[in-house]
Amino acid sequence: MGILVNKDTKVIVQGITGKAATFHTKQMLDYGTKIVGGVTPGKAGQQVEGVPVFNTVADAVKATGATASVVYVPARFAADSILEAVNADLDLVVCITEHIPVLDMVKVRRYMAGKKTKLIGPNCPGILTTDECKLGIIPGYIHRKGHVGVISRSGTLTYEATFQLTAAGIGQTTAIGIGGDPVKGIDFIDALKLFKADDDTKAILMIGEIGGSAEEDAAKWIAENMPEKPVAAFIAGRQAPKGKRMGHAGAIISGGKGTAADKIKALNAVGIEVADTVAHIGDTVVNTLKRAGIYEVCHTC
Amino acid sequence: MNIHEYQSKEILRSYGVAVPNGKAAFSVDEAVEVAKTLNSPVTVVKAQIHAGGRGKAGGVKLAKNLDDVKVYATELLGKTLVTHQTGPEGKKVNRLLIEEGSNIAKEYYLSFVIDRQTAQVVMMASSEGGVEIEKVAAETPEKIFKEYIDPVIGLAHFQATRMAYALNFPPAAIRKASALMLKLYAAFIGKDCSQVEINPLVLTKEDDVIALDAKLNFDDSALFRHPDIVELRDETEEDAKELRAAKSDLNYVNLGGDVACMVNGAGLAMATVDIIKFYGGSPANFLDVGGAATPETTAEAFQIMLDGGQAKGIFVNIFGGIVKCDNIAKGLIDAAKIIAGEGKPFPVPVVVRLEGTNVDIARKMLQDAAIGNVMVSETMEGGAEKIVKLVKEAEKN
């Protein structure tokens, strides 16, 4: 089980002939992902890692029946690639590219309104359903099958957290990196809704960071809508100064809002334990599972 | 990216936004020259630094004649201004804006920002101008009005008009206020801003509506399509280390402490700063070396951290996902040779925590290289604790 993608999901890679895309296409295929095609205008007829290349997303979808796409296109053209995938009525687009202009993403979000396509990213590591498939750049080998869903705004923190879960014997259903940009696709609440509906997912780990109020909104949503699935959390950026962009475009405390302290307070207020340091994410999930009486069920590896 | 107020006003002027007449001056003579051409009964001499709160810090002066202009320009140029946004070290004033005075009847607040939740640009305004808007938002949120803008339509006339009425502009100024809002929005979109703030927006006694102050921030990711904006960068306003790091594509923020860290990934880098503080250390920096760190960039990162004797210890925290740990280890060993010299110990203690792909090979490489002062830690927790302890010991000696 898991959310959004599984072993049967047919995936195309936009920008497949680029260096990073070619490398990750092989990684995704090795993990078992059904990569059925790639798109690079002008390169139709070529093959990358045995995958046929098409000029347009429409051509690729027509020929392969793909329902999902992963975008590795450079920042100046990436927003257009998302539009093309949305226009082709794909169920899911994952955009790995970072440094897409924010106003381009504002237009993308407007274009997506009322359409069925879900977007993960941009500036994200992608999504991985354990032992089934991955779209993006998450290293597969750290994942083990289990019952915890992982949602994160950061790439390496997703890996770090998953690594700690696996080391603690806690397997995962799906890990999803929603990305570090201020204007993006799926946010915490969207991912939480999907995990709530997934019977295989018994608990959720949420990794947030400074900037915006998505974590506070998620805390409220969890308290009101998901009493049955325990949530543990971690927030990066307790020591971040005001007004400084900490790597991610979205990780900035502006106007005194979006501080780690506010987020931790909001999460604690609804009974969600927040790890005190990054080294204790695994322990915090274990504590949360034990308190909920589902540690044994979730101890899968 | 930030620019100076006078640069912001020049951009706004080019979009037809009403701003006071004025010009930048880099010397006392220039300041007097500009004041002469303005020929205004009151001339405003404004220090140009990349920080707010200049008025309270004594960086804005009202001159009644040219002699006053000379006195104030002499006083401000070269002075270090300390405002609530500069930090205790303050910022040196190298440029002035010489501007005509305005007959202020009332002050307002007006800004455009990107709203994450709705993924739209939002126009925000208040009749409580000239004060900190965060305070207004916290204490009297009903005094802040918002208009969410459809990116396809842009700011609609009715929205600007509705805002002008909400702010209670007098009838004679309604159209002037709404016209200014529309032009400001055009500037926001035209230059890929991340924020435009006019505080205060003023109504004059003559019923004109003027942007008395202007703060423009730009989306760094969109600078590739605005070479004119890139040219406005004032490197003297930026932290020297941050500037140097940016030239090597290193994501670095100086935090002022003495326990440095080098990390891959922005989230893990933030979390590493936090864990250093958690164990009682004073974080020197945020540093994300990214996925494509080479031995050269790794060495440059070490040199930036050590520069000026800032780092008394360095915590290297790497989670090798796609990045392989042995590549990082090689980078470290090469960097040590560049910095310390072959066979010599590293100038400050370095604790290395590596996890992930090829970690065993990497740890062995570091052990075999046996660089003095470089230690491998098996866990992140242990590593953070250790580097803080080592720096504290070094401080005692």
Strand partners, B260: B314
Which of A99, A217, A278 faces B271 most closely, judged by CB atoms? Answer: A278
Which candidate in A24, A99, A248, A280 is catalytic? A248
Chain B residues touching residue A113 (CB < 8 angstroms): none
B150 touches chain A (CB under 8 A): yes
Whether A47 has a pLDDT exceeding 80, the answer reads yes
What are the backbone dihedrals phi and psi of residue A182, each rounded to the nearest 5 degrees, phi first?
-70, -35
Shortest CA gap B22–chain A (Å): 28
Dist CA B95 CA A245 (whole Å): 26
- Work out the burial of residue A267: count CB atoms within 10 Å of its CB; fewer than 13 is exposed, 13-18 middle, 19 or more buried: buried
Q: How many CA atoms lie within 13 A of A33 on its CB side?
A: 33
The token duo for B263 is 């990390």
- Work out the burial of residue B385: count CB atoms within 10 Å of its CB; fewer than 13 is exposed, 13-18 middle, 19 or more buried: buried
Q: Which of B215, B268, B278 to mutate to test the interface with A (most CBs of A within 10 A)?
A: B268
Dist CA B266 CA B250 (whole Å): 11
Asked whether the whole model's pTM tops 0.90, one would answer: yes
CB atoms closer than 10 angstroms to residue B190: 12
In percent, how much of chain A has pLDDT > 90? 91
In percent, how much of chain A has pLDDT > 70? 100
Q: In chain A, what is the straight-line distance between the N-terminal and C-terminal CA atoms, in Å?
A: 17
What are the backbone dihedrals phi and psi of residue A116, each rounded to the nearest 5 degrees, phi first?
-85, -15
Dist CA A175 CA A204 (whole Å): 10
Report the pLDDT value the prediction gives residue B292, as an integer from 0 to 100.
66
Chain A residues touching residue B322 (CB < 8 angstroms): 27, 137, 139
The closest of B216, B240, B211, B212 to B226, measured between CA atoms, is B216
Length of chain B: 397
Judge: A137–B134 Cβ closer than 8 Å, yes or no.
no
Q: Is A299 a catalytic residue?
A: no
Please report, to the nearest 10 degrees, the dihedral formed by the alpha carbons of residues B173, B175, B178, B184 taken in order: -90
- What is the secondary structure of A106-128 as a DSSP string? HHHHHHHTTSS-EEE-SSS-EEE
Shortest CA gap A130–chain B (Å): 16
Specify the DSSP class assigned to residue B236. G
Looking up tokens 């003023």, which residue turns up? B202
Judge: A277–B275 Cβ closer than 8 Å, yes or no.
yes
Judge: A236–B194 Cβ closer than 8 Å, yes or no.
no
Chain B residues touching residue A237 (CB < 8 angstroms): 270-271, 273-274
Report the pLDDT value the prediction gives residue B322, as an integer from 0 to 100.
64
Strand partners, B96: B25, B47
Q: What is the average per-residue pLDDT within A163-186?
A: 96
Cα–chain-centroid distance for residue B69?
30
Dist CA B136 CA B128 (whole Å): 7
The closest of B122, B126, B123, B124 to B108, measured between CA atoms, is B126
Instruction: Give the pLDDT band (50/70/90) at residue A65.
Output: very high
Judge: B268–A157 Cβ closer than 8 Å, yes or no.
yes
Dist CA B146 CA B53 (whole Å): 25
Q: What is the average per-residue pLDDT within A6-15?
A: 97
With b for 16 or more beta-carbon neighbours within 10 A and e for fewer, the B39-64 pattern comes to ebeebbbbbbbbbbebeebebbbebe
Judge: A157–B221 Cβ closer than 8 Å, yes or no.
no
Contact B319, B359 (CB under 8 A): no
Shortest CA gap B205–chain A (Å): 31
Report the pLDDT value the prediction gives residue B138, as an integer from 0 to 100.
79
Q: What is the pLDDT along chain B (397 residues), one digit of tens a residue?
A: 889 999 999 999 999 999 999 999 999 999 999 999 998 999 999 999 988 888 888 899 999 999 999 999 999 999 998 888 777 888 899 999 999 999 999 999 999 999 999 999 999 999 988 777 777 877 888 889 999 999 999 999 999 999 999 999 999 999 999 999 999 999 999 999 999 999 999 999 999 999 999 999 999 999 999 999 999 998 888 888 888 988 888 889 999 999 999 998 899 999 999 999 999 999 999 999 876 667 778 888 888 999 888 999 999 999 876 677 888 888 888 888 888 887 788 889 999 999 887 888 889 999 898 888 899 998 999 999 999 999 998 877 7
Which of B134, B221, B278 faces A276 most closely, judged by CB atoms? Answer: B278
What are the backbone dihedrals phi and psi of residue B169, each rounded to the nearest 5 degrees, phi first?
-65, 145
Dist CA B72 CA B125 (whole Å): 33
Least confident of A176-185, A201-210, B131-140, B237-246: B131-140
pLDDT tens-digit readout, A108-161: 999 999 999 999 999 999 999 999 999 999 999 999 999 999 999 998 999 999
Q: What is the average per-residue pLDDT within A160-170?
A: 95
Contact A244, A203 (CB under 8 A): no
Specify the DSSP class assigned to residue A280. G
Q: Which of B241, B270, B324, B355 to mutate to test the interface with A (most CBs of A within 10 A)?
A: B270
Write down the H helix ranges in chain B.
Answer: 5-14, 28-38, 66-76, 133-139, 157-166, 174-190, 227-230, 240-247, 266-278, 295-306, 325-340, 359-369, 380-396
